[in-house]
Chain A
């Protein structure tokens, strides 16, 4: 009230609530369409505005790290693809590379390129779900139903490679369990031809759409230094303007032979996160194309595992009529392979950020401690800071654009 000195009661702005007793608590609880999984936000609301929010997670806590201490090394792979189940092969490959780093196994170039093709496909699949669900949360359902068709096609490629759609358990420590079939290569090439058209269509549907831009531009903005302080990694950090990407910072699995750009946003709001994921899908397509060209140049087409046979099952006909092969097969399956004592931290650029595996082994059959660095668990702490002061519908959009996956959140 710049004009008058003292303000009578009736002169106050009619809209602002006077004594703030109209706060009511709203429970965006475990079973709520806005939370794409099971976590709970108890929000203190002043009308539509969020004054305070307090999170409860752990509704599907399955004690992954406790299970990992009771399983031999190659049996932990099925655990990892239930971490971020939207892009399961990414976690599997991450785990394989951690054990290879501990054992000092050098994988040949062909295995690295095969892994890169699979990892980039998984990244596209994860960004597909996240971006189409941002559309669903802001009301545009058509994008979801159209894009899921391509995700089904990626499922088909996974089935060609490893037989299962979602929880893939793909590859082995040191390579793959079998070579890619010709059918898989055709499907990958068909995907590279047909998917860009659909992605362009989806981008045209939402990216420059008036309603979508009003709903997402500077909604839940986050500054770069706060993001770093809160341990952000992945597309959410890049949307804030920090170009940190594990594939470039410490390249693994011969990522250094590929050239791709890291998309970076400015203000870290929902629109930047959407566009960063959208651009990353285009970059993943480029990487897969380069990987296919490099794979065609490699002459021998049938090496699909590393020379170090500690984790590679001998071929079946040898196992049936050769004593040593049978013993070796039995040793691998029962997990008696000799693992050196030591500890290793290896991280990969998963779809949500830097997915790290801190593996401590005391030479025994099972790891003595395995800690998963789960990106969702770490950056979801910043959710109150992004949301307080905004409106509830913006808070829903911020949550879905951060792509918090319940499986990875409370492993």
Chain B
């Protein structure tokens, strides 16, 4: 049985090899020239004012965290979707409860206006 997986092994070695070798090759082939001016962040051609670590609006952070939250929810659905038939009816109900719970959270966010992006 295990020897059936040899082609898969070779394939993954080739892929990994290609990725690592190109990265190393370009690292050595490409000339490098570092200077203080070059490593400053690009400000459309003028020298930057202030550093990039300044606080930014909370809207960005909220949107990012909410996306991560609902993405994790979708990840839980993958195993369910794969063996949808075998889990049958009770699996459907369990998943349904899980989705309802997360949906409640989503509705709270909508009403609270966390996703209101284009209003002041």
Contacts and interface: CB of A to CB of B under 8 A. Distances in A.
Q: Do A and B touch directly, given a CB cutoff of 8 Å in the complex?
A: yes
A14 B113 contact: yes
A389 B119 CA distance: 10
Given A15-B62, A21-B55, A27 B114 contact: no
Contacts of B43: 27, 29
B114 A31 contact: no
Given A31-B44, A48-B59, A14 B54 contact: no
B56 A29 contact: no
Contacts of A15: 58-59, 62, 113-114, 116
Interface in B41-56: 43-46, 49-50, 54-56
Contact of B57 (A22, A25, A40): A22
B118 interface: yes
A405 B80 CA distance: 58
Output the residue of A15, A25, A46, A391 with the most chain B CB within 10 A: A15
B120 interface: yes
Contact of B45 (A17, A22, A29, A48): A29
Nearest to B49: A25
Interface residues of A, number: 22
A260 interface: no
Interface in B28-52: 43-46, 49-50
B46 A27 contact: yes
A47 B60 contact: yes
A29 B118 CA distance: 24
B112 interface: yes
Contacts of B44: 27-32, 40
A194 interface: no
Nearest to A35: B44
A5 to B, nearest CB: 21
A40 B49 CA distance: 15
B59 A47 contact: yes
A48 B117 contact: yes
Interface in B63-107: none
A49 B119 CA distance: 9
Contacts of B49: 25, 27
Interface residues of B, number: 21
Interface in A259-273: none
Residues of B contacting A: mostly: loop
A362 B89 CA distance: 98
B46 A30 contact: yes
A21 B60 CA distance: 15
Output the residue of A14, A389, A391 with the most chain B CB within 10 A: A14
Nearest to B50: A25
Contact of B120 (A22, A27, A40, A49): A49
Interface string A375-404: 000000000000001010000000000000
A30 B45 contact: yes
A299 B99 CA distance: 83
B86 to A, nearest CB: 42
A9 to B, nearest CB: 14
A40 B43 CA distance: 11
Contact of B56 (A14, A22, A30): A22
A391 B118 contact: yes
B46 A24 contact: no
Contacts of B114: 14-15
Output the residue of B57, B59, B60, B114 with the most chain A CB within 10 A: B57
A302 interface: no
A13 interface: yes
A275 to B, nearest CB: 23
17 contacts: A13-B113, A14-B112, A15-B59, A15-B62, A15-B116, A17-B57, A22-B55, A22-B56, A22-B57, A22-B58, A25-B50, A27-B43, A29-B46, A30-B45, A30-B46, A40-B46, A47-B60
Q: 9 smallest A-B Cβ distances: which pairs?
A: A29-B44, A47-B57, A22-B57, A31-B45, A47-B59, A22-B55, A32-B44, A30-B45, A24-B54
Given A15-B113, A31-B45, 4 more contacts: A28-B44, A29-B46, A30-B45, A47-B59
Interface of A: 13-17, 21-22, 24-25, 27-32, 40, 46-49, 389, 391
Interface of B: 43-46, 49-50, 54-60, 62, 112-114, 116-118, 120
